[in-house]
Amino acid sequence: MIAEINFDGVIGPTHNYAGLSPGNLAATHNAGAIARPRAAALQGIAKMRANVALGLAQGVLLPHPRPDHQWLTALHTDYASAAPHLKARALSASAMWAANAATVSPAPDCDDGRCHLSVANLVTMPHRSHEWPDTLAQLRLAFANDAFRVHAPVPAPFGDEGAANHMRLCAGHGAAGVEVFVYGEAGGPFPARQHVEASRAIARAHRLDPARTLFVEQSAQAIAAGAFHNDVVAVANGRTLFAHELAFADRDGFYAALRAIMPEVEIVEVSAAEVSLADAISSYLFNAQLVSTPARGQTLIVPREVRDCPAAWQWIERHVAGNGPIRAVEVVDVRESMANGGGPACLRLRVACDPATVDPRFLVDDRRLDLIAEVVSEYWPEVIAPDHIGEPELIARVEKAWRALLRALDLVELIDR
C-alpha cells in the first residue's frame, strides 16, 4: 500500500552560519552569528517526533561527512591549508535540507510502475554542488528495492535543486497525480536555482505522462524578494495547492492548465493584500509541511515564525475557522534551521511508496528518534562560532560525531563508501 513518508534530514554537527547562499535572505542576514548544532539537531528531531504523533510515516536522511575531504582533494588542497571560503564550503551542513536531495515521482505517475528519484545537482551554489555523491549513495541504499529507480543528477550547466521546486497533486497517494515542475529565470540581483531543461530531463527520466506534467515559471518578483525556491511561496498536498498570489509568472495560465487536468483541485491562494510577499518569505508561511493526518485531516505544519507574524497568523486562523481544505495547524520550533534559511518544508523529502520496500534503517519511530537524540546530545558541538571553523579540535569532534551516528543506526557502509 502506498503511503507518504517524510524523510527529514538530521541536522549535522557542522551546522553553522557562514552565509553561503545569495538570495536566501535569512542565511545572508545571519552570516557570522553563533550557531548551535546540538540545539538545531534536537529541534529537528522534535519536529519528526511531532509528525509521528500525528500518525505520519517518518524517515531520515543522514548528515554528510564534513569537511568534504574528497572535494578539497579535487581542488588540490586540504582542510588545513585551504582558503577560508573553501573551508566554509567544505564544512557546510546544508544537506540537512532534504527537500533539495532529489525530485520524487511516485509509481502511479511513471509508466514503468516504479517510484523514480533523481538526485539534485545543486550546481548553482558551490557549497552545495558537492553534496550529490553522498546523497546518491544514501538514496541508492534506502531505495535499493526493485520498486524504485534512483537516477544520477542532471549534468551541468542546468541547475536542479530537487523537490523544493516540484509539487504533486493527486486524489490519493496511490492514484495518478499531476506533477508540477517550477523553474526560474533571474530575479533582480539573485540567481534562479531551477533550470527548465533540468526539469524537463527529470520528467523524461521518470517516464511521466506529458498530459499530466506541467512546467511553470516562478515569478521574477518572488525570486527578487527572496523566494530562492518555489517551496518558499507554494506547497501542494492531495487536491490542494496552497500558494501566494505572486508565486508564479503566469498565475492565471497555470491555474487554468491545472484545472483542465484536475477539475477537483482546490486552490488556496493568499493575496498580497492579506500577507505581503515580504511577510510570507520572512515567516515561511508556505515553507510548511502540508500533510494529510489520520485524525485531523489536512494539516499545515508551520514554524514558530508564522505565529510571530500577525498577518500570516491571522490568515491561518481565518482559514482554519472557515470551511477551507486546511483543517488544522501545528506549530514547530526549528529556529536554528530558520535562521539559516530553511523551514519545515526544507527539512524533508516526501516519498510516496510502500514503506515495506524501504530499507528499514532509514525509517524511524519514537524509539529510534530517542537513539538519534542520545547520539546528538553526546557528540554534537553545543556552539560553532565563525572563528571555530578552522580549529583542528572542531574537525576531529564533528568527524567523530558523524561516525557515531552512522554506527548507532547500523549504517556503517556509508562510512566506508
346 is catalytic: yes
4, 131, 161, 179: the catalytic one is 161
Find cell 554506527 and name the residue.
407
Q: Give the DSSP letter of residue 208.
A: B
The answer to whether 7 and 349 have CB atoms below 8 angstroms apart is yes
What is d(CA 77, CA 127) in angstroms, rounded to the nearest whole number? 16
Please give the Cα distance from 123 to 161 (Å, whole number).
8
Annotated catalytic residue: which of 195, 229, 244, 319?
A: 229
- Which set of grid coordinates corresponds to residue 134? 553522498
> Whole-angstrom Cα distance, residue 394 to residue 380?
10
161 is catalytic: yes
Instruction: Provide DSSP, 107-171.
Output: GGGBTTSSEEEEE---TTSTTTTT-HHHHHHHHHHHT-STTEEEEPPPPTTS---GGGGEEEE-S
User: Does residue 210 contact residue 236 with C-beta atoms inside 8 Å?
Assistant: no
Which of 277, 235, 269 minimizes the C-alpha distance to 251? 269
Active-site residue, 229 included: yes
E strands in 232-273: 234-237, 240-244, 266-270
Catalytic-role residue among 309, 346, 353, 388: 346
Residue 282 CA to residue 244 CA, distance in Å, equals: 13
Distances in Å between the Cα of 108 and the Cα atoms of 71, 146, 163 are 37, 15, 18
**Dihedral, CA of residue 150, residue 148, residue 166 and residue 23, to nearest 10:** -30
Which bin fits 93, alpha (ψ -120 to 50), beta or left (φ > 0)? alpha
Start-to-end C-alpha separation, the chain: 32
> How does 260-299 read in b/e, with b if 16+ C-beta sit within 10 Å?
eebeebebbebeeebbbbebbbbbbbbbbbbbbbeeeebb
The CA distance from 353 to 335, in Å, is 30
How much is the CA Rg of the chain, to the nearest whole Å?
A: 20
Q: Which residues are catalytic?
A: 161, 229, 346
